[in-house]
Amino acid sequence: MKKLICIGMILAMAGCSSEPQVKDINDMKDDLISDYQVSDVYIEGDQHLMIAMSLPENNDLEHAANVGFNRMGDMLNHVLVSYPTLDAEAKQIYVSFNANLVDTQNNPSIEPMYDVYFDVSELKKLNVDSSSTFYDYLRYANISVRQPMGHKVIEAWCAGDNNKQDFVNVCL
């Protein structure tokens, strides 16, 4: 009888562990879409985690880029803390920034502006916490502009503050 009670107490204590539960990478899509204004998440090809985000509609291109980068930083904080085994599934993270555009014939479309991408192994070296900002991540970023309007957005962001001096890897 005593053995049965002890086993029951051990099982009860194990079930009440206060350690945070590690999330599976398959849960990531739902998390990011619901909490970080992400429109799509998937693994592509050679272990590339692809994340699509929309830039806010704003005529101030520097502000739109700042808001987009802020959301990206918050999202990266979440991903790096909640998915510690990410590097086993993805070697790079690509964040594709899209925007709602209207062409000269007044036809609306959603177009990719630019991609910001990171090597997961480099991001894993950072001491990430809830106070980490997109500035912490941008130092490790590479950027690929996908169309002229994307170039204008990055150019506007780089013209602000000391961004061009501090982020030569981002500023073209």
pLDDT at 61: 93
Output DSSP code: residue 57: P
54 residue type, one letter: S
List the one residue out of 164, 171, 123 whose CA is nearest residue 145.
171
pLDDT, mean over the chain = 83
Q: What does the pLDDT average to over 12-34? A: 62
Least confident of 7-21, 30-44, 83-97: 7-21
| DSSP per-residue string spanning the chain | -HHHHHHHHHHHHHHT--SPPPPPGGGHHHHHHHHS-EEEEEEETTTEEEEEEEPPP-S-HHHHHHHHHHHHHHHHHHHHHH-TTHHHH-SEEEEEEEEEEE-TT--EEEEEEEEEEEEHHHHTTS---TT--HHHHHTT-EEEE-SHHHHHHHHHHHHSTTHHHH-TTT--
Model-level pTM? 0.81
